[in-house]
Amino acid sequence: MSTSTIDASSMRKNLSDVLDAVRENKNLILVKRHGKVESALIDIDTLEDLLTVQDPEYVKSIADARKSKEFYTPEEVFGDIWAEL
């Protein structure tokens, strides 16, 4: 993920291109107003990832899974897809 900065007025003039850059390249774009960074644009997948890792139940499930002695083979996880690889 790369990070770039844009002035709010430039963003307004080039909104479609800015949104494309965020979506296609997973860019983080910092938006400046009056020379100061005030906002950020990120793609929806990154936002969902950030929200997910803040969920205490999700974080606990990861910790529990790491402590577990239960493992699955690739065949058990991927089934027929694994055999085709």
How many structural domains is the chain composed of?
1
Residues 6+ apart with CB under 8 A from 71: none
Q: How many CB atoms lie within 10 A of CB 19?
A: 14
Confidence category of residue 12, pLDDT binned at 50, 70, 90: very high
Q: Residue 41 sits in which domain range?
A: 3-84
Nearest to 41 by CA among 17, 60, 67, 76: 17
- Token pair for residue 73? 């083979």
Summarize pLDDT for 32-71 with one digit per residue, the tens: 999 999 999 999 888 888 888 899 998 898 888 889 888 8
User: What CATH number does the domain containing 52 carry?
Assistant: 3.40.1620.10
Q: What is the pTM of this model?
A: 0.62
